[in-house]
Amino acid sequence: MIAPERPERPERPGRPERIVIVTDAWAPQVNGVVRTLGAVRAELEEMGRRVLVIAPDAFRSVPCPTYPEIRLAWASAAKVGAMIDAFGADAIHIATEGPLCLAARRWCRARGLPFTTAYHTQFPDYVAARTPLPASLVWRYIRWFHAPGSGVLAATPTIAATLRAHGLPRVRPWGRGVDRKLFLPDGPLDQAILALPRPIRLYVGRVAVEKNLEAFLEIASPGAKVIVGDGPALASLAHRFPDAHFLGARSGEALAAAYRSADVFVFPSRTDTFGLVMAEALACGLPVAAYPVTGPVDVISEEVGAMDVDLEVAVARALTRDREVCAAYARRFDWRASAEQFLAALAPLGRDRLAA
């Protein structure tokens, strides 16, 4: 909501008090970007900061080609800038590389205002999986988009190294967390999942081509394969793999119960920058099997899971891991620490610069 006039910002120096986050990904979308921004906003507000999220729900929008659940907002730089200005922002974070954030970037650049960005998704690989465009061409856009920022926030050391290798040196760390009040090793179980043949292998997340779910669903060893989530590939995969159990999207206690009821969490994606679901699974005591790629290599270790170029081999090894060790390991993922990193990375605007 736009305030009727720009509020006064505090005179004291220090970290920003009024923070604007501009994002092309927001509710009702369900993905790691939305969940990360929502969790960090909640922590910032608990820390006494005021946060304005400028998202597609405030503008006219159209469905994204090949991914209609995502809405692409049509907004002018002037309109986005008016919202930032009216809020009296002390810092601006541009979270994604879509049209709404392009408008915010244009407004900041025209006024010489600093801003931070984030690299949430392996966007070049994501585009290459859905279109004929090569990843190398998309990297040119990624460099152009992020280079003017005061810093690009990255979830893991591997992603930070990737960004630096592609010509983006100003990288800042921004880890992820887990809701440890919800995702616990002890709690209700899902009786329907427990009734399936063991071992029960669980996937949670978007059901979409970039998640590489076929690699999971083609595993031939005995046991049940359970998919929790929704997405554009759901109908086709359910038709092709009738022996798998597609349970649809779940959240809250129902999701936590699904994690607790499985024997191993399988993460077949090769394009994620982090993979929040892996941290949630571990917090519930569920070991993780994955490929040795960006995301898993920084999130899991051999004591709580297994990585292998053969996903079936990784699953077999992960099944031997101790669930109590998994739950203890997951305590390192903390949303308050994530919010502190986010706050430390922001570039304060300064009263005189925003008024210019």
Q: What CA–CA distance (Å, rounded) separates 131 from 91? A: 35
Beta-carbon count within 10 A of 32 CB? 20
The winner for highest mean pLDDT among 5-14, 70-79, 189-198 is 189-198
Q: Is the pLDDT of residue 294 over 60?
A: yes
Question: Domain limits of the chain?
Answer: 18-177+336-355, 191-332
Q: What is the structure's pLDDT at 126? A: 67
Q: Once rounded to an integer, what is the mean pLDDT over residues 168-190?
A: 97
Q: Is the pLDDT of residue 64 over 80?
A: no
Beta-carbon count within 10 A of 51 CB? 18
Among 29-33, 144-148, 209-213, 332-336, which is the least confidently predicted range? 29-33
Which one, of 272, 271, 273, 305, lies nearest residue 290 by Cα?
A: 305
Residue with tokens 């892996």: 278
Work out the pLDDT band at 306, boundaries 50, 70, 90. very high
Q: Count Cβ neighbours within 10 Å for each residue of 314-348 and write b for 16 or more, e otherwise.
A: bbbbbbebebeebbbbbeebbbeebbbbbbebbbb
Q: What is the structure's pLDDT at 14? A: 62
Beta-carbon count within 10 A of 195 CB? 10
Instruction: Work out the mean pLDDT of the chain and round it to a whole number.
Output: 91
Q: With contact defined as beta carbons under 8 Å apart, do 176 and 276 qualify?
A: yes
CA 345 to chain centre: 18
Q: Is the pLDDT of residue 13 over 60?
A: no
Q: What is the structure's pLDDT at 132? A: 73
- In this structure, which amino acid lies at residue 132? P
pLDDT digits (tens, 9 = 90+) for 220-260: 999 999 999 999 999 999 999 999 999 999 999 999 999 99
Dihedral of the alpha carbons of 276, 278, 281, 285, in degrees to the nearest 10: -130
Query: What is the percent of the chain where pLDDT is above 70?
Result: 90
Q: Once rounded to an integer, what is the mean pLDDT over residues 165-183?
A: 96
Q: Give CATH for domain 18-177+336-355.
A: 3.40.50.2000
Dihedral angle sign, alpha carbons of residues 150, 167, 128, 133:
positive
Residue with tokens 């509710």: 27
Looking at per-residue pLDDT, the higher value among 207 and 124 belongs to: 207
pLDDT digits (tens, 9 = 90+) for 107-119: 999 999 999 999 9
Q: What is the structure's pLDDT at 351? A: 54
Q: What is the structure's pLDDT at 1? A: 30
- Considering the segment(s) 191-332 as one domain, its CATH architecture is 3-Layer(aba) Sandwich (3.40)
The 3-class secondary structure across the chain, one letter per residue, is CCCCCCCCCCCCCCCCCEEEEECCCCCCCCCHHHHHHHHHHHHHHHCCCEEEEECHHHCEEEEECCEEEEEEEECCHHHHHHHHHHHCCCEEEECCCCHHHHHHHHHHHHHCCCCEEECCECHHHHHHHHCCCCHHHHHHHHHHHHCCCCEEEECCHHHHHHHHHCCCCCEEECCCCCCCCCCCCCCCCCHHHHCCCCCEEEEECCCCHHHCHHHHHCCCCCCEEEEECCCCCHHHHHHHCCCCEEEECCCHHHHHHHHHHCCEEEECCCCECCCHHHHHHHHCCCCEEECCCCCHHHHCCCCCEEECCCHHHHHHHHCCCCHHHHHHHHHHCCHHHHHHHHHHHCCCCCHHHHHC
Q: What is the structure's pLDDT at 130? A: 65
Q: Is the pLDDT of residue 195 over 80?
A: yes
Q: Once rounded to an integer, what is the mean pLDDT over residues 125-147?
A: 82
Q: Once rounded to an integer, what is the mean pLDDT over residues 214-220?
A: 97
171-173: strand order across its sheet: 50-54, 18-22, 91-94, 116-118, 151-154, 171-173
Work out the pLDDT band at 350, boundaries 50, 70, 90. confident
Q: With contact defined as beta carbons under 8 Å apart, do 87 and 52 qualify?
A: yes
Q: What is the structure's pLDDT at 313? A: 98
pLDDT digits (tens, 9 = 90+) for 87-105: 999 999 999 999 999 999 9
Query: What is the percent of the chain where pLDDT is above 90?
Result: 79
Q: What is the structure's pLDDT at 134? A: 81
Global pTM reads 0.88
